[in-house]
Amino acid sequence: MPNKMSKFDTPQRVVEQLALLGQRIRIARIRRGWSVADLASKAGINRNTLTALELGKAGTAVGVCFTVLWALGLDQTLNGVAEPDADLHGKALEAARRPSRAGKPRKARDDYDF
């Protein structure tokens, strides 16, 4: 009987970005002169988890990534991630849904007219 659950295939672009992020984290760790055990301890995670992050494994939790960047002092570099003002495609879609003209002005009702 075939397996009904399909395996999630990570898009190639995502795989490449994860590998690049892992390399950057590894470089930052090495520049500080920290071992894998040192950084894992500072971030409060297991050494194997840090190794998986540095290798760009897709199953590594995003919270782990943010915590490791915090431990490295690089958490401010996340400020530009998914920045709404940089989302040109989303802004274009939003603008396309806006009404093309304003509605008719409505008369004000004077409920207190005696």
More confident residue, 4 or 26: 26
**For the ranges 16-25, 54-63, 101-110, which has the lowest average pLDDT?**
101-110
pLDDT at 101 over 80: no
Distances (CA, A) of 40 to 59, 65, 66, 72, 78: 17, 11, 13, 11, 20
Architecture (CATH level 2) of domain 12-97 = Orthogonal Bundle (1.10)
- The end-to-end CA distance of the chain, in Å, is 80
pLDDT in tens, 35-94: 999 999 999 999 999 999 999 999 999 999 999 999 999 999 999 899 999 999 999 999
Which two three-digit tokens encode residue 3? 């397996």
Model pTM score: 0.75
